[in-house]
Structure 1
Amino acid sequence: MSTRPFLLLFNRLKCLLLQRLAALVLLLPLMALFHRTQAQSYVPYPGDTTQVFSYVEQMPALPTGGGNLALVKAIQKLVKQPAEVLEGRTEGHVIVRVVIGASGVPRQATVVQSLSPACDAAALDAVRRMPRLVPGRYGGQPVPVLLSVPVVFLSPRHVYAATEVTRQAQFPGGDAALEQYLQKNRATPAEVKLRDLKGHVAVRFVIKADGRIGASEVITPLCPSCDDEALRLVRGLPRWQPALGYDDQPVAMYQTLNIYFQPPAPQGDIAPPVPEHQVYTRVAQMPTLAGRSSPAAIQTALQEGIMYPERATNGNGQVSFVVEPDGRVTRPVMVKSISRATDEAVLAAALRLPRFEPGRHNGQPVAVRLVVPVVVEIR
């Protein structure tokens, strides 16, 4: 019996089986993608023969672990800062896109956000020299993963913001110790009591890389003496534990502190200021200065007491203050400003006014808020 028909049938079945297997092999990745597409994303990378993922269940990482921050730190330590950065002529960051292969080796690094040719080259060099990583895994299997890595270039004189450091500067003993220090060393200016001021002064300052206090400035003022006291407190702070940059080295950092002020509790027979909602603006018998009953007497006394600053600004303004039931002047405020320096001089003059004969309502002394015009004409 001839075996030729049998061989022909066998070969035909073999070809059909191979075709089915090939179709199945082609369909399996598509089936996997269909089931994973909501949780996984991928992008084809030019010139790569395998699928490159941009996110997988287990992202590439250093063998020692530590996540993304540890990887960024490791790359940052490999950066050779160009001369233009060391000299302070260039600062910023470069973003490098790199494929971490299934073997954990970086390849195909490209700059996607440039800073300068020298910085771009330094960033690429650092990324290419990163250590072999534990590869990313998809479905339990190692796969190529596309990463975007920021590489930072900052001059040695750069002062970092709080968001630019990996560890912020810390006061010895922490926030509770800082608050205790401020409470112990803060002096309340007399102006706070006289003007019944409640609020804070915000001071922005530099904590140097060695933990010492550097330049400082008031960014939210309250009153001149309050601002001076806040600056005195900040400039006298002890050394801090400095902030750390991405390379885990100490760096200078900006810090902001709010220094709070409020009037001290009344002592002895001095009554506290009358609450604002109980202060009158008009009563049958208005406050007057002793021996000066004319309507313009208060304005004249105020103008005579103004100690003008070196650079006073001419103009018309209005100051308001409260005459307490005991005749004291409290809570002066400018309701029509002239300039900051001139305003402060006017407010100080209001606090130096002599005691008034208080205003009276139904025969009883009461607190009355007065508004007094101010004219500044310096030639």
Structure 2
Amino acid sequence: MLLLALSAVSLPAVQAQKKTKAKLKAPKVQADAIYDAVQKPAVPIGGVQGYADYLEKNQQYPTKALQSGHEGTVNVTFVVEKTGVISNVAVLQATEPELDAEALRLIRGGPKWTPAEHRGGKVRQRVTIPISYHLPLGAGGPAPAVVDGQPVKPAVGTTGAPAPTLVTAEQPARPVGGTEVFFEWIQKNQKYPNLARQRKVEGRVPVEFVIQKDGSLTDVKLAGKRLGSGLDEEALRLIKSAPKWLPAQFQGQPVKQKMVLPVIFQL
């Protein structure tokens, strides 16, 4: 009788275990579901480095944002579809309208992706890419001041530790008539090289120069990656022939100021 009683108790327990195992069964992949975490994430065709190269090559700093001194990081979210195309491109949190618009353009114009896989099938995956914009040295804000060719050194702090080597000009150098007038002059006088036009080469050429005490632009040279096809030479020509600026001011006196600005070429 005791054995029969034990057997009667064990039967419901076995049935409960079977039900538990059934509940633990992995759910099926939903056809239209958008996943944030998957077993095999989506990757850009050409690889992560290839995608990074695309972003670097094609990113453009909006002229209006550059003139206004706006910078920051735009987080763009989108969905990689099962076909590898992207959809639902949007900015997670608005920053500056010009930066947001350029980040959206950049992502929408990017290459296709290899779709994500989850539980043996292709699925839609949500991806977020940060697009950062950092102003070139001197653009849109004060830059280090130089007096008689030497960096200005502030007084040593009370702790005895040396303060930063450079201080910022009280009034940074700026184009006569304002930055908008200067960029209009650049656009008006820019001569797109025939070779670059034939090859459909476009982009930004960062140019470094020094605004002297009298407002003239000197020591003009390239400050970044070359584009070639005559664009680098044209950028240098433009800055060398540009009109004078209002010099930077430090303690009421004009001082030299180094600056880097991108000359933008766009077909």
Indicate the TM-score class for this superposition, using the shorter chain for normalisation.
0.3 to 0.5
Larger radius of gyration: 1
- TM-score, scaled relative to structure 1: 0.30
- TM-score, scaled relative to structure 2: 0.41
Higher-RCO chain (CA-CA 8 Å, sequence separation at least 6):
2
